[in-house]
Every structure is written in C-alpha cells, then in structure tokens.
Amino acid sequence: MVIAIAAERAFYYHKYAGKTFVVTHAVNELAKLQNWAEIDKVIKENPSIASRIAEAGLHNASSEEAMKTAFADQMGVDAVGFRKYMDYLSATVTISPLLGLLGTVTGMIGSFSILDSGAGASAITGGVGEALIATASGLCVAIMAFIVYTVFSHRLDAIINQIENMCVSIVSAKREGWK
C-alpha cells in the first residue's frame, strides 16, 4: 500500500505541481512591474495549481478582500488533491509497529506454550524467530511510510509557501490600484 501511494503521489505532484516554481517566480517578477497582460500569458501557458490560484485572484480583483478570498477559496479546492492519501500514510506509520508488536506477542505466546508442553528449549526458537520477524516487518513498513509521508508533506509545504508568496506579490502590486 505504501509503495502504491508513493507512486500515485509522485505522479500527481509531478503532473499538477510541476510548473509551480516557473509560474510563481514569473508572476512575482511581473507583479513588481505590474505587467498584468504578461502574467495572464504565463498563467495560460503553464497550467498548474499556482496558475489556477493566480487566475482566480486576478479575475476577482475588484478589491483586496475579494482577491484574498478568491485566492483562499481556490487554494482550498486545489490543496485537497495534494493532501489525498496523506492520512493513510500517517495511519500506516502508527499502526504498522503495533501490528509488529502484536506478532511479537503471539510469537512469544506460542513459544511459551511449546515450553509448557514439555518440549526442549530449542523448540521455542521458532516462536522467537516469528516474533522478531513480525517486529522487524512492522518497523520496516512504518519507516517506509514515514519517509514517504515526510517527503510529500515537505513538498506540499514548499508548494504552499511559493503560492502564498506569489499571492502576496500580486496583492501588493494591485494595492496601488485600489487606493
């Protein structure tokens, strides 16, 4: 499951966030120059989450409040797709070690029941081995899920930060026209 989510998230982020840096950088520079026609061109030529958010704000630029609301609304809509499956990864990080611990407990119970039946000490090694394998498996899955979760959480934070900076640049440049 973790590998499937990692592959799907990598594809999604590549497809929908790939041009975010290009758009945010260009819009930030063009907003300083108040070159709205060129910003519109950049937005249309580089479809991405950043371009959709910039477009939403620019098409609702009657006031600063209207623009900020449009930015926030579009960000809320687009961010849902970027957060998809992150809860599953978080749950996997929590549950996997617990499942490993459960396997450890059942393996140890099996080992002690073999000891109770009068078998020799060497007979318990199978249960101990099972317990160790269960623990290691749970930890491996949790570690892998944690790494995937961390990578995409940081990527999402970076995307949101770039877009917020772009929105601030647009609002600052437009502010002169609202006075």
Asked if 81 and 98 sit in the same domain, the reply is no
pLDDT tier at 19, thresholds 50, 70, 90: confident
Q: What is the pLDDT of residues 150-174, one digit of tens each?
A: 999 999 999 999 999 999 999 999 8
Asked if 119 and 167 sit in the same domain, the reply is no
Position 100 scores a pLDDT of 87
Position 122 scores a pLDDT of 66
**Per the confidence metrics, is the pTM higher than 0.85?**
no
Residue 114 lies in a domain: yes
Q: How many CB atoms lie within 10 A of CB 169?
A: 18
Residue 143 lies in a domain: yes
Asked if 139 and 99 sit in the same domain, the reply is yes
Residue type present at position 101:
L
Position 118 scores a pLDDT of 65
Residue 31 lies in a domain: yes
Asked if 42 and 94 sit in the same domain, the reply is no
Asked if 98 and 81 sit in the same domain, the reply is no
Averaged over 36-58, what is the pLDDT?
94
Q: What is the pLDDT of residues 92-131, one digit of tens each?
A: 999 999 988 888 888 788 777 776 666 666 666 777 777 8
Q: Which domain holds residue 99?
A: 87-147
Contact 128, 108 (CB under 8 A): yes
The long-range contacts involving 53-59, CB below 8 angstroms and separated by at least 24 positions, are 53/78, 53/163, 53/166, 53/167, 54/23, 54/27, 54/166, 54/167, 54/170, 57/167, 57/170, 57/171, 58/170
Residue 61 lies in a domain: yes
pLDDT tier at 42, thresholds 50, 70, 90: very high
Asked if 34 and 96 sit in the same domain, the reply is no
Residue 152 lies in a domain: no
- The total domain count for the chain is 2
Residue 156 lies in a domain: no
Position 7 scores a pLDDT of 95
